[in-house]
Amino acid sequence: MFGYWNPHVERMPIKDLHKLQEERLRTVVRYVYDHSSFYRQRFREAGVEPEDIKELSDVTKLPFTTKIDLRNTYPTGMFCLPQDWVVRYHVSSGTTGKPTVVGYTQGDIDMWTDSLARGLTSIGLGRGDVIQVSYGYGLFTGGLGLHYGAERIGATVLPTSAGSTERQIELMQDLGSTAIACTPSYFLYLNEVAKKMGVSIRDDTKLKAGLFGAEPWSDETRRRIEVSTGIKAYDVYGTSEMSGPLCSECHLQNGIHIWADLFLIEVIDPKTGEQVAEGERGELVVTTLDKWAFPLIRYRIGDLTIVNNEACECGRTHPRIMRILGRTDDMIIVRGINVFPSQVESVLMKIPEIGDNYMIIVDRKGPLDVMTVKVEVTESAFSDKIADLMSLSKMVSQQLKGVLNIMADVELVEPGTIPRSEGKAQRVIDNREV
């Protein structure tokens, strides 16, 4: 039931996998040096030549690349092939700066699709399944990425894209969707709308699995989704620079399998740039091993995670990354203390009276930072007496203090009042920025 898409590669002995990575690393380093003036110049500045890269550990001799490089070379200055090799572009929304452009050869699309096919197969999906793709289609990679992956495994795709939620729920019932792919926040919203329509995801649909990603979420949210809808909620990860959604958890739900034949990953201390010890949290750095229009060398993704190199009980030997805490640039510093929205979410989602939606608002009052956590309560808690709500608010504030080490004002609001999003949820409003 939980099979392999490419058993030879997915279960490859570690020694062989490392040998393959080493060969591919040497090839890609030589390739970018020969094909890109950007990389050639970077390597020269760092005093490194392709011949210096002999084994895997030599990767640390190579310079890092960052989103700033991508922006500075906008639109396609980091590409290694001319446009007539490129069969598709995707473009980031540019919410945190200038948009960035990524491009793919036909082979790059195949690699991306295959990588998703491995993940979809690992959670038991295949021919006979109907996969509703509710990630946005278009310049964002989510929709088309999952679409191609789902078709590759022989499933039927229902390409609803994001939005028109009532229609999505009707189609889910009429066409018998067995899996859905969307952001976790959108799925929570969809479940809310379904309830209002009198539809139970558990009893009135065939849905059994969700592929949730594109934004940070927590194990507590996973539990909520699974308990309230009866489906299995799997984490799927990727970034447009790596291709798009790429890697996911297997049926054991214990970390995201990163395909080592396709990507060489490192975890570094964001301050020093040095690799951290195994099991320590740090910033994910990626070198692509089989991507040719737009390869990446030591690209600092910015996501904070922990790598587990032990083979998984599912039989796959590739490393796993543990749930993403957030991006280094998602971190808010409140009164000198680092706060990640995902930490706030973990606390809130453990409290049964608290609903699924929240916002973090940071203001500066005089010299002081003030953090307000605005959170919806459930319908039943909302009808409680004022005194009960006040003690709930105090309890939430204490629990947040216990985890974050900082006092937050907690504002309980009526269910349905925090804006919903169809894609990535915006959880933080920082009014301190000018």
* Contact residues for ligand DLL, defined by CB under 6 A: 92, 135, 141-142, 213-216, 235-240, 244-245, 301, 303, 324, 327
Q: In sequence order, what are the beta bridge partners of 130?
A: 156
Shortest spacing between CB 116 and ligand DLL, in angstroms: 10
- CA distances, 394 to each of 344, 388, 397, 401, 417 (Å): 15, 10, 5, 11, 21
Give the residues across from 267 on adjacent strands. Answer: 284
- Nearest residue to the partner ligand DLL, using Cβ: 213
Element (H, E) at 44: helix 37-46
Query: Smallest distance from the beta carbon of 177 to ligand DLL, in angstroms?
Result: 17
- The rounded distance, in Å, linking the Cα atoms of 286 and 421 is 29
User: What is the closest distance, in whole angstroms, from the C-beta atom of residue 23 to ligand DLL in the complex?
Assistant: 28
User: CB-wise, 55 or 74, nearer to ligand DLL?
Assistant: 74
Nearest CB to ligand DLL, comparing residues 146 and 410: 146
CA pair distance 420, 331, nearest whole angstrom: 22
Minimal distance in Å, beta carbon 380 to ligand DLL?
A: 30
Residue 182 CB, nearest distance to ligand DLL (Å)?
A: 8
User: Measured from the CB atom, is 53 or 131 closer to ligand DLL?
Assistant: 131
Please report which helix (H) or strand (E) contains residue 360, including its range: strand 354-365
Is there a cis peptide before residue 75, judged by omega within 30 degrees of 0?
A: yes
The smaller minimum CB distance to ligand DLL, of residues 10 and 303, is found at: 303
For 338, other C-beta atoms within 10 Å of its C-beta total 13
Considering the complex, state which of residue 132 and residue 396 has its C-beta at the smaller distance from ligand DLL.
132
Closest approach of Cβ 235 to ligand DLL, in Å?
5
Q: Which is nearer to ligand DLL, 18 or 420 (CB)?
A: 420
Those residues whose C-beta lies under 8 Å from the C-beta of residue 198, and which sit 6 or more positions away, are: none
Return the amino acid letter for 214. A
Nearest CA to 157 out of 119, 181, 131 is that of: 131
Most distant CA pair in the chain, distance = 72
Q: Least distance (Å) from ligand DLL to the CB of residue 213? A: 3
How many Cβ atoms sit within 10 Å of the Cβ of residue 433? 7
Question: Toward ligand DLL, which CB reaches closer, 327 or 350?
Answer: 327
> Which residue's CB is nearer to ligand DLL, number 50 or number 145?
145
Shortest spacing between CB 92 and ligand DLL, in angstroms: 6
Picking from 84, 89, 154, 73, the residue whose alpha carbon sits closest to that of residue 120 is 154
